[in-house]
Amino acid sequence: MCHGATAARALKSVLQGILLSSEGEKSNSMNLLLYMEPIVVLFLIPTTLLMEENMVGITTALARDDIKIIFYLLFNFALAYCVNLTNFLVTKHTSALTLQVEKEISERREISFHRVGISVAPLVSFQDIAASHGDSEEKKNNSPEAQEKCITRLLLYHFCVNLPVMIASYPVFRAMGMRSSLPLPSWKVISTQILFYFILEDFVFYWGHRILHTKWLYKHVHSVHHEYATPFGLTSEYAHPAEILFLGFATIVGPAITGPHLITLWLWMVVRVLETVEAHCGYHFPWSLSNFLPLYGGADFHDYHHRLLYTKSGNYSSTFVYMDWIFGTDKGFRKLKALKSSEHEGEDLRWERAREMILVVWKAREGRSGGVDGFVEKGWDDGTGDGAT
């Protein structure tokens, strides 16, 4: 299986070099998605199955002995998908889709693309939610130098801050009951613990984040995170080392209290990282949870937080926004959404009134132009649906 996968990846690289002729195309995430995904689905998967003819049989036999192998495989697939999705989110500033959105950023519209052969050939719509926060802000873009600075600091923080904290916290988690041996916890236990972590993390994060928006702490600590008025995925973890330790406590306090299984801790960290990357990516996806969960923040909620001055931003919540709703720190965001909604409704009403006025003018000319028959003969419809088109 390993040899088959290695050969498939080598073939994929060769085909990528043939299909994508220029270096610019090779570094473009959208080209990789559009050209290479059909190859994976239509060619590489059957090739791998042919080269490893016993793979299905071996997997079936292992599943009969231990059904958990299916869980391990599904978890591996999900993790690989999440890694690729995260890669697309954090490289949005180099994709063809992003360049098109940036070119037309002053208008609120949906960008849709459809390519036959991408998995099941779905129709995916990307809507740039940031357009509702002011054209002057949206014209700001992150230069390659700014992105390089972000990546460099993240590497430094992960090795010099996060890694020592992880090593130092391991004995604490072990003392609190964390284990890594079989049997694995049930889905009921995992789901209950992760739900508890979300609720507790939202509460602790809200107050910690709100404290960081006081004058002194914002100037000396939290302003580092707000260096990017137009955030992208990687900026989700871009912060002052003191803030990493301070707000990071909200993420680990739940697992530290409950002492979960290691697989639960991994799932919690993966879900938490994906959530914060999605909140900073700048796009509102059709599959975003904010479309389905009323109290889920999402990209538009946190994007508003990065647009305003630190004393007036609000929207301090992490994942779920119940704390902002309780204490009224999301009033500005809700007013803006209501204003945008009323503006769209008012625009539709103005168009309807203009149409009615045109019809009134034409009907007033009926006596001079032959009545409604003349009106219809010229190719106009009076709104009844009987006119010429």
User: Model confidence over 356-372: pLDDT tens digits?
Assistant: 667 666 666 665 555 44
125 DSSP β-pair partners: 112
Q: What is the pLDDT of residue 365?
A: 65
Scanning the structure block, which residue is given the tokens 């998995």? Answer: 119
Confidence of residue 207 (pLDDT cuts 50, 70, 90): very high
Confirm whether pTM is higher than 0.75.
no
DSSP 321: -
Range 69-75 average pLDDT: 73
> What are the pLDDT digits (tens) for 126-177?
333 333 333 333 445 678 888 888 999 999 999 999 999 889 888 888 888 8
CA distance 150 to 74: 33
DSSP structure string for 166-221: HHHHHHHHHHTT-B-SSSPPPHHHHHHHHHHHHHHHHHHHHHHHHHHTSHHHHHHT
In this predicted structure, the answer to whether residue 254 has a pLDDT above a threshold of 90 is yes
| 19-33, 313-327, 346-360, 362-376: range with highest mean pLDDT | 313-327
Confidence of residue 100 (pLDDT cuts 50, 70, 90): very low
Rounded to 5 degrees, what are φ and ψ at 108? -90, 115
In this predicted structure, the answer to whether residue 209 has a pLDDT above a threshold of 90 is yes
Average pLDDT, whole number, for the chain?
71
Range 260-272 average pLDDT: 93
Choice between 137 and 178, residue whose per-residue pLDDT is larger: 178
Among 24-28, 265-269, 303-307, whose mean pLDDT is lowest? Answer: 24-28
Q: What is the pLDDT of residue 281?
A: 86
Among 57-66, 73-82, 217-226, whose mean pLDDT is lowest? Answer: 73-82
Choice between 93 and 52, residue whose per-residue pLDDT is larger: 52
CA distance 285 to 80: 19
Choice between 48 and 70, residue whose per-residue pLDDT is larger: 70
